[in-house]
Homo-oligomer: A and B are copies of this chain.
Amino acid sequence: MARISMEDVAERAGVSITTVSRVLNNTNHPVSEKTRKKVMKVIQELDYKPDISAQSLRQSFNNIIALITRDISDPYFGEMARGVTETANKYGILTFVCNTGRNPENEIQYHELLWQHRVRGIILGGGGLNLEAYKIKLQEQMNRYKDNGHKIVSLAPQGFDMDYVMIDNRGTGELITDYLIARGHTSIAYISGPQNTYTAFDRLEGYKLCLKKHNLPYDDLMIAYSDNSWKGGYEAANILLDRSIKFTGICCGNDNLAVGALRAFKERGLAVPEDVSVISIGDLPNANYTAPPLTTVRVPLYEMGAKAVNIIMSDDTQEYNANIIFKTVISERQSVSNIK
């Protein structure tokens, strides 16, 4: 059972491969109904499927998109990947999932490969890194893509101008801080993701802004930095608890950090939300199943991923900037208490 080519179909149908191609792609070049039927029948019989490499080569673009993630085992990226791959599937196209393992060099290397594959579009999943050398290199790659008609969409701030579909990270940082303040909290700690990512940076900025807005004092000791993992949140919470500070509420840059913090509080005998209120950003599917269920901001990762694919697949040849901000709202659960 070897591979069937267009030539096999053409031969059996008694037509030229040109005609087969035409019925398959129903171009505007007319084909008689009789011929079309005949060809279709043979295609069915032989179960012919066009070879995508050949198509790509000839058309100099293909129907592959790529999603760059930092860690696909992190439900944050998982949710995003689900949105991307499922939407892509609706278009009948496939997705390269590229996992950088949080290593900027890997990311650059991936772009070389994607370039060679002539992928139709690239979705940048993670927030950009604020490292000068990396940014320059990345921007070069982006330009090369653009110059050759590939589309790129980012799902997080990259620190330079490009099409994006994201949330207002700073505004969301404000939102969660505000939420705690509105419930009487005035001593609010913060666990942040890596400060060299724009996403984490912006969220923390929102926190600072919000404190200022409410004339609450800002204290460096109330901030702990970490990676975006459960373990990181756990360690950061412990660091905060070891400091000579007091807080009744804590904002976490994302859900993973909050889950880790929850564990740390539990170990230290602190009840949530009675002793300390916890709020975070993400609303990943398991936020319902933590103890207590987590009050967190819903980030529509799935929808964002889906939208990015739609943008890539849209046939807008006209130059346009896709600058889309998704709204965020708080999913109220049981990790925040009102102490007013």
Measured CA separation A226–B283 after assembly (Å): 23
Would A78 and B86 count as touching, CB distance under 8 A? no
A229: min CB distance to chain B, Å: 8
| 8 Å CB contact of A291 from B109, B260, B262 | B262
- CB of A99 within 8 A of CB of B89, answer yes
Q: Taking the full assembly, how many copies of this chain does it contain?
A: 2
Q: How far is the CB of A238 from chain B (nearest CB, A)?
A: 13
Please, which residue of chain B has its CB at the minimum distance from the CB of A301? B73
Interface of A is mostly: helix
Quick check: A97 and B85 within 8 Å, CB to CB? yes
Q: Is A54 a contact partner of B51 (Cβ separation < 8 A)?
A: no
Report how far A235 CA is from B122 CA in the complex, Å.
39
Count of interface residues, chain A, beta-carbon cutoff 8 Å: 66
24 contacts between A and B (CB under 8 A): A1-B148, A2-B147, A50-B116, A52-B116, A53-B54, A57-B57, A71-B82, A72-B78, A72-B82, A72-B97, A73-B78, A73-B285, A75-B75, A77-B78, A81-B97, A85-B97, A94-B113, A95-B96, A95-B97, A96-B97, A230-B286, A230-B288, A263-B293, A286-B286
With A49-B115, A73-B285 known, 10 other A-B pairs at CB within 8 A are A1-B144, A1-B147, A2-B148, A52-B116, A53-B57, A53-B118, A72-B85, A74-B78, A75-B78, A85-B98
